[in-house]
């Protein structure tokens, strides 16, 4: 269960926890397979390939930091990761019951699989042979946890189809009770003896089946979930320590009623306390699960609402060009949005060009971002220009989309295109121009793009091993991560 959490590659918090856990492990002066044995004793390395790769990557980085002299024996530090991954595969192949003995990996197969992994060079044969022999003598396995004990119980049950050994399930207690078919009649207790295994979310009722002398297995009777379970104690002339369990049936309004009795008050009191705590736990976890589901649904609705463009910033002023453009983006189709955006920018360009001409100074192309603090005067009427052929490519500075005009849209865009031609033709020679529209005599000017953002800071992860030798180099991607494959 810990490995499932730490190997989650989708959450940064899980990455940070894994880094902190690995930092507490010391692999100094240890062989690679022995260090991996120590690592896997605390963290189970199994599951999806991405989770296994993430765990082995963290282990390899820590091993390189603890043993720099070992890393210098290889041409590339990535060889440590490859060799550790090969050890995991060897251990799985050697001890998996699903692989036939004649299909298991032999020593020569293991050596052949590792040829050329060290930047084209082979790993020393004596190192590979030592790893194979130590894995053959002792399996790499995790220490026992709650799942291990549940697995042992599951193997001793006959006739049970439900899977017990799951990461979230743990065994709380095991009690010997006697099932009561009728609380108003006396019955022989030995005929209805039950072994009741209480888990944190499930109650499993078994019958004890003795085999031979000391070994015994259980026969499955029934299992009931703890979610929604109610219970009460009873006492009458036949049963002094009785308990009644009432559980809802899934997909039905009916309820299942079970009666049990115990031999003594102490045993019944212990079972009732554990049962009460387990029911409270599973109820609280169900409430948390429902809250998470509601948060996911609410987040999905908010995301879809934003992606649809239905949210408009309320701080935008009603009369500003920016507010008009944002309102147009949320309420009008894409063609109208482009028209409003071009119109607002050309209004600013016309107004600033007129001010520069009055002063007799060269007029640079202004910033085409509309100012929300002042209203721009409408542009003066201009004589129409010859019609623009269909398929003309229009590009306006600070407009992300490139529009290819068709005939219906061209009729609506002709006035705006005429204003654009007039504005750009009146600009000075040192001003920035837009893409030419194909008219003869129009000068081709260079578009000044905004500067690129600064480069990201250098990758300085505390687990990153930097070898001192010149032969040891590391391959890095643009994201800053080190190549380990």
Blockwise average pLDDT, block size 10, the chain, 485 residues: 74 87 92 93 82 90 93 90 93 90 92 92 93 93 80 87 85 92 85 91 88 70 93 92 91 88 92 94 92 86 65 45 45 42 49 47 43 49 54 41 54 66 52 42 45 41 37 37 36
Q: Could you tell me if 201 and 169 are in contact, meaning their C-beta atoms sit under 8 angstroms apart? A: yes
* φ, ψ at 209 (rounded to 5°): -120, 100
How many residues comprise the chain? 485
* pLDDT at site 320: 45
Determine whether 270 is exposed, middle or buried from the number of CB atoms within 10 Å of its CB (0-12, 13-18, 19+). Answer: middle
Tokens 């210098």 correspond to 72
Calpha distance 411→155 (Å, rounded): 79
Q: Which two tokens stand for residue 17?
A: 């926890």
Angle, helices 334-359 vs 407-425, to 10°: value is: 20
* pLDDT at site 254: 86
Q: Which two tokens stand for residue 153?
A: 């119980």
* pLDDT at site 429: 42
Q: How does DSSP classify residue 255?
A: E
Domain 146-279 in CATH 3.40.710.10? The answer is no
- Per DSSP, the residues of 258-275 read EEEE-SSHHHHHHHHHHH
Q: Which two tokens stand for residue 178?
A: 């006697």
Domain 2-137 in CATH 3.40.109.10? The answer is no
* pLDDT at site 425: 53
List the end-to-end C-alpha distance of the chain, in Å, as a whole number: 26
* pLDDT at site 391: 44
- Per DSSP, the residues of 312-342 read --TTS-SSSHHHHHHHHHHHS-HHHHHHHHH
Q: How many other C-beta atoms can be found within 10 angstroms of the C-beta atom of residue 395?
A: 13
Domain boundaries, the chain: 2-137, 146-279, 321-425
Calpha distance 393→408 (Å, rounded): 15
Calpha distance 462→431 (Å, rounded): 50
The residues, any chain, with a CB within 8 Å of residue 104's CB and separated by 6 or more, are 93, 94
Calpha distance 322→190 (Å, rounded): 85
Query: 202-210 and 193-199 as β-strands: parallel, antiparallel, unpaired?
Result: antiparallel
Bridge partners of 246?
230, 257
* pLDDT at site 319: 46
Q: How many angstroms separate the Cα of 371 from the Cα of each of 47, 114, 324, 379, 478?
A: 57, 65, 12, 16, 38
């Amino acid at each position: 269960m810990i490995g499932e959490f730490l190997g989650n590659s989708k959450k940064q918090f899980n990455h940070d926890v894994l880094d902190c856990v690995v930092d507490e492990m010391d692999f100094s002066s240890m062989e690679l397979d022995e260090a991996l044995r120590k690592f896997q004793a605390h963290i189970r390395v199994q599951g999806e390939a991405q989770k296994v790769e993430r765990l082995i990557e963290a282990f390899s980085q820590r091993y390189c930091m603890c043993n720099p002299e070992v890393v210098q024996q290889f041409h590339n530090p990535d060889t440590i990761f490859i060799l550790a991954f090969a050890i995991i595969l060897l251990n799985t192949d050697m001890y998996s019951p699903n692989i036939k003995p004649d299909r298991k990996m032999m020593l020569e197969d293991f050596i052949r699989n590792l040829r050329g992994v060290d930047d084209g060079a082979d790993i020393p044969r004596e190192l590979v042979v030592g790893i194979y022999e130590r894995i053959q003598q002792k399996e790499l396995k995790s220490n026992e946890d709650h799942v291990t004990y549940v697995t042992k119980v599951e193997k001793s049950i006959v006739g049970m189809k439900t899977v017990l050994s799951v990461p979230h399930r743990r065994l709380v207690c095991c009690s010997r009770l006697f099932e009561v078919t009728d609380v108003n009649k006396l019955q022989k207790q030995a005929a209805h003896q039950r072994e009741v295994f209480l888990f944190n979310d499930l109650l499993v009722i078994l019958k004890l089946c003795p085999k031979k002398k000391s070994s015994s297995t259980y026969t499955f009777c029934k299992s009931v979930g703890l979610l929604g379970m109610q219970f009460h104690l009873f006492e009458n002339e036949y049963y002094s320590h009785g308990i009644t369990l009432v559980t809802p049936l899934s997909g039905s309004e009916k309820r299942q009623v079970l009666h049990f009795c115990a031999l003594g008050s102490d045993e019944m009191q212990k079972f009732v306390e554990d049962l009460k705590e387990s029911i409270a736990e599973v109820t609280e976890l169900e409430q948390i699960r429902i809250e998470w589901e509601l948060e996911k649904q609410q987040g999905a609705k908010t995301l879809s609402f934003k992606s649809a463009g239905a949210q408009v910033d309320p701080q935008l002023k009603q009369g500003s060009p920016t507010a008009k453009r944002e309102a147009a983006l949320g309420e009008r189709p894409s063609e109208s949005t482009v028209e409003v955006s071009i119109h607002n920018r050309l209004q600013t360009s016309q107004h600033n060009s007129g001010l520069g001409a009055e002063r007799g100074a060269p007029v640079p192309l202004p910033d085409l971002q509309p100012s929300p603090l002042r209203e721009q005067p409408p542009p003066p009427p201009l004589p129409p220009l010859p019609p623009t052929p269909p398929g003309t490519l229009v590009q306006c500075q600070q407009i992300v989309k490139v529009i290819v005009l068709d005939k219906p849209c061209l009729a609506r865009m002709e006035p705006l295109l005429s204003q654009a031609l007039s504005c750009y033709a009146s600009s000075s020679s040192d001003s920035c121009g837009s893409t030419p529209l194909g008219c003869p005599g129009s000068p081709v000017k260079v578009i000044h793009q905004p500067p690129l953002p600064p480069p990201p800071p250098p990758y300085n992860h505390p687990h990153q091993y930097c070898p001192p030798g010149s032969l040891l180099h590391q391959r890095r991607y643009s994201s800053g991560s080190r190549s380990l494959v």
